[in-house]
Amino acid sequence: MVISMQDYQKFWSAPQGIFTAPTPFGKIYMPLKNQSLAEKVLLLAKQPKTLQVIWGPGGSGKTTIVRWLQQNLEPKLFEPYIVCVLKPQPDRPWLLPKIQNFLLGSKESSQDPWRNLGRGLEQLQKERRILVLMIDACDQVVQAAAWQELKALFDLSSLAGSVVSCCLFGSESTLAQLLKEANLGHHLINSFGIPPYTREETQGYIQWYLNVSKIVPNPFAATVIDKIHQLSEGYPGRISILGEYCLLMAAQKRVKVIDISLLDSLLKSNNAWLQEPEPAISVYDNLTKRFLFQEDV
């Protein structure tokens, strides 16, 4: 299935992939039950010297919660800092230098990074602000010793007046292992797995993205949404990928209605969408990497 991005955009009158359309700041689709969980994370993230873990498979909405937290932390009181781990981290400094550079606004190397990091934390204490550290895709931190940096950060924060809270996002097994090996369990105050969407929430998610791209009427037949929900197991990243594939095939076939026969044809021709999305990589990037689009030249 190959179609140029230009033809895809023209067919659906959309600026880009529909499930990757830019959304207005502060506007994120989140079902009520997920928002209730996110609000609890937000409340606890405002307390210093606390650790929370949020787990789920790829595409379950972990990064969506990270974005929501960032948008709902008051800048006068909190300094949100997001670290998305895109590749396996070796057993060497990978976290503390980033935080030091972030707090001090400089990327210059230092002969005394611990002192500089302490200085940055002390400045937060003077400003009565809290650093809210969010680490996404924790599964990429495979060396147990690498997590000692997080423990060191908590220890240093205690000396500066406890100005750090942390939220970790990854798989349940990885997070449980790191809490054990890095001796961080005594900081843990909240943990939960992200629940999948119901069938109604899946429909709402699809409709939300269609609304963002101003696609009317909804091209997805009810039976197709039923099947998308079943195949995706209610995880939004998978819903996005399968939904985008349907739109791509519809554009290629020049049809404005996505019925069950089109979905069945898609499933027979390509099942790459079943692969879990890579951390912090957009659906569009996943699709282009799998050669669904032939870029215009």
pLDDT in tens, 149-172: 888 898 888 887 889 999 999 988
Amino acid present at 187: H
Token code pair at residue 52: 């929370």
CB-based contacts of 90-95 (< 8 A; 24+ apart in sequence): 90/143, 90/146, 91/143, 91/145, 91/146, 92/146, 93/149, 94/141, 94/146, 94/149, 95/135, 95/146, 95/149, 95/150, 95/153
Distance, in Å, from the CA atom of 147 to the CA atom of 130, rounded to the nearest integer, reads 21
Fold of 5-25+197-289: Helicase, Ruva Protein; domain 3 (1.10.8)
Residue numbers of the chain with a pLDDT score lower than 70: 1-2, 90-91, 106-111, 270-297
Question: Domain limits of the chain?
Answer: 5-25+197-289, 32-193
Q: What is the pLDDT of residue 148?
A: 84
Residues composing the chain: 297
pLDDT in tens, 174-215: 777 777 777 778 888 999 999 999 999 999 999 999 998 899
Confirm whether 5-25+197-289 and 32-193 share one CATH topology: no
Helix (H) or strand (E) holding 188: strand 188-193
pTM of the model: 0.85
Tokens 């972990």 locate to 62
Token code pair at residue 37: 């969980």
User: Quick count: other Cβ atoms within 10 Å of Cβ 40?
Assistant: 13
Q: What is the pLDDT of residue 104?
A: 86
Amino acid present at 130: I
Fold of 32-193: Rossmann fold (3.40.50)
Over pLDDT 90: what percentage of the chain? Answer: 54
Distance, in Å, from the CA atom of 209 to the CA atom of 214, rounded to the nearest integer, reads 8
Question: HSE (CB half, 13 Å, CA atoms) of 168?
Answer: 28
Q: What is the pLDDT of residue 296?
A: 32
Looking at residue 220, the DSSP 8-state letter turns out to be B
Q: What is the pLDDT of residue 286?
A: 39
Q: What is the pLDDT of residue 110?
A: 59
Token code pair at residue 88: 């396996």
Q: Which residues pair with 82 in a beta bridge?
A: 134
